Structure 1
Amino acid sequence: MVDTDELDKVLESNSIKSCPDDETIERVPKGHLDWLYQENARLAKINDDLREEIYSHVQWEKELNDDFTKITELANKVISLHRQIIMDYEGLLNAKMGIRSFLRYLFLFKKNKYLT
């Protein structure tokens, strides 16, 4: 046997817990609710479009960064080759100056030898 008073108390407490009172519920007209759903769907689509655009920009930026790295490496190679060319040219000039000074020394030495 079940005590009906206890059963009524349990049912009443469960009904209160499952249904919030009017102070916590805000009633919205159906047309406004439909508009909110449509607006939410529109904004979700815009959000998805913006995410795709951001992704494409990130991919483009990655490609630019890779290209910049390649260009920097090539520029460093060109600078290194330019330094090597300058060093070779300076070495060549020093070698020529050595030969010239040696020939000048011989010429002056022989000239002085004949003069004395």
Structure 2
Amino acid sequence: MNEQWADVCNIDLIPEDAPHAVAIDGREIAVYRVDGEVYATDNVCTHGEARLCDGYLEGHEIECPLHQGRFDVRTGRATCAPLTADIRIYPARLEGDRVLVRLAAAS
């Protein structure tokens, strides 16, 4: 497993109520800040080609802007219709005020 962590942004770029898109090695990742923790997922919905960074974050759920399906940003689990496939999540952590993401998929 690759243990390489990518420094993606300052925590101040991620509001508590909205995702932020970053690019890592040609992949677009959505990063989230909820209750002082950081999370990272693929940025494209598994149901349609919508970007999750354009969606609505409520608690630990990101709502797709296209068809209103939701994912839990902690687990990647699809939590309601029309979603049938989970989204890939990535390990994320804070080091000081920097957000680090590891591309080796957690799920």
Query: Which TM class, normalised by the smaller chain length?
Result: under 0.3
Bigger CA radius of gyration: 1
Structure number with higher helix proportion: 1
TM-score (norm 1): 0.15
Structure number with higher strand proportion: 2
